[in-house]
Amino acid sequence: MNVPESSIIRMAGGLIFHRLFGDDSKSLVEFYRQRFPLCAGISNVNLNGSLVEEYHPDPLLEYIRVSPTGPMMPVVFTTTTLGNQLHFGLSTRDSIVPPNDAPKLADAFRNIVLQNA
């Protein structure tokens, strides 16, 4: 409840951050690194028992989902369970996670999942 009020508070917070950091993205990156070394989110959707499962694996071979990053979530893992498979996507903000490091992060996640399977 109180959704409209929380939206106003979030917008006010955005204006305060903009006034503190201006358009200088380097100071914003430093803010993240000092206060949020890694802030990530994981969202899982289990499609087993849904309409999608009825069409898997024929004709639907794979289900791909993408989740956007945000100012407080520069790294987002999007996992989807379909059949006996776990599909995952990784979204990152280039200003926080360099593009060359994103595949390393995905590989590390995949290795952990495979070790615990």
Task: Name residue 62's amino acid.
Answer: E
Range 48-53 average pLDDT? 87
d(Cα 112, Cα 24) in Å, to the nearest integer?
37
Say what the pLDDT of residue 33 is: 66
The larger pLDDT score, comparing residue 82 to residue 30, is at 82
Residue among 29, 34, 33 nearest 95 (CA):
29
pTM of the full structure: 0.58
Question: Could you tell me the two tokens for 39?
Answer: 């802030």
Confidence of residue 63 (pLDDT cuts 50, 70, 90): confident
The larger pLDDT score, comparing residue 113 to residue 33, is at 113
3-state DSSP of 99-113 = CCCHHHHHHHHHHHH
